[in-house]
Amino acid sequence: MYWWINFFVAIFLFACTSAPQHTKQEQKEFDLPAYFQREIKRLSAVDKAVVKTVSKGDVSETKTLRVDWKKELAAFASIDINKPVYAGYIYKDSSGRTVTFRIDNPKLDISMVRIQYNEQNEPLEITIQRKIDNLLYDTAEKLHYKKNESYRIEKQQDVWVLGTNHYTIAGSLN
């Protein structure tokens, strides 16, 4: 008697179930967060003193001290070009032992990541350029890390009411 209700329910349920999705596997690029987590762990174990210079404009201060590597390299470890937001915007260029990733979308914060490798194909130097633009401020940032030698964070910040400031944090391993 009500076979047609069962028929429509079966059709409806069949239509609501989707066929398995075949998504293409996206190529993962260099895993910066994992690399810097390994560096944080390695540098923390070595526990070397760092000659650290902090500058704001023309004023700078230099000290030799032990640092918390998790805090010191947090800006580096937060960069992840494998996030879905960058998919389709990354252009990879390789030349010799250098690989450059350019992000071709002005709305995204990272514009470039360059990795230089040594003879053993291990990362030796990493340079990152990023920018943040919003209603209150514009920030241009350049991060540079050279394994076993140094790190440097340069930041130019234009704040809507306060003007322009230039900051630099540089560390050299002893």
Is residue 35 domain-resident? Answer: yes
Whether the Cβ atoms of residue 89 and residue 104 lie closer than 8 Å to each other: yes
Percent of the chain with pLDDT over 90: 71
Is residue 87 domain-resident? Answer: yes
Is residue 38 domain-resident? Answer: yes
Distance of CA 22 to the CA centre of its chain: 29
Whether the Cβ atoms of residue 77 and residue 37 lie closer than 8 Å to each other: yes
- The answer, yes or no, to whether residue 2 has pLDDT greater than 80, is no
Residue 30: its pLDDT value, please? 93
CA 79 – CA 142 distance, rounded (Å): 12
Is residue 12 domain-resident? Answer: no
Tell me the sheet residues that pair with 65: 50
Buried b (16+ CB within 10 A) or exposed e, 11-23: eeeeeeeeeeeee
Is residue 152 domain-resident? Answer: yes
Is residue 85 domain-resident? Answer: yes
CA 122 – CA 114 distance, rounded (Å): 13
Q: What is the pLDDT of residues 5-26, one digit of tens each?
A: 444 444 444 444 443 333 333 5
Buried b (16+ CB within 10 A) or exposed e, 64-97: eeebebeebbebbbebebbeeebeeebeeeeeee
Residue 127: its pLDDT value, please? 98
Q: What is the pLDDT of residues 125-159, one digit of tens each?
A: 999 999 988 888 899 999 999 999 999 999 999 98
Kindly report the length of the chain.
174
Q: What is the pLDDT of residues 66-121, one digit of tens each?
A: 999 999 999 999 999 999 999 999 999 999 999 999 999 989 999 999 999 999 99
Give the global pTM.
0.81
Total domains in the chain come to 1
Full domain range(s) for residue 159: 28-173
Is residue 100 domain-resident? Answer: yes
Residue with tokens 């023309």: 58
Residue 158, classed as helix, strand or coil, is strand
Is residue 160 domain-resident? Answer: yes
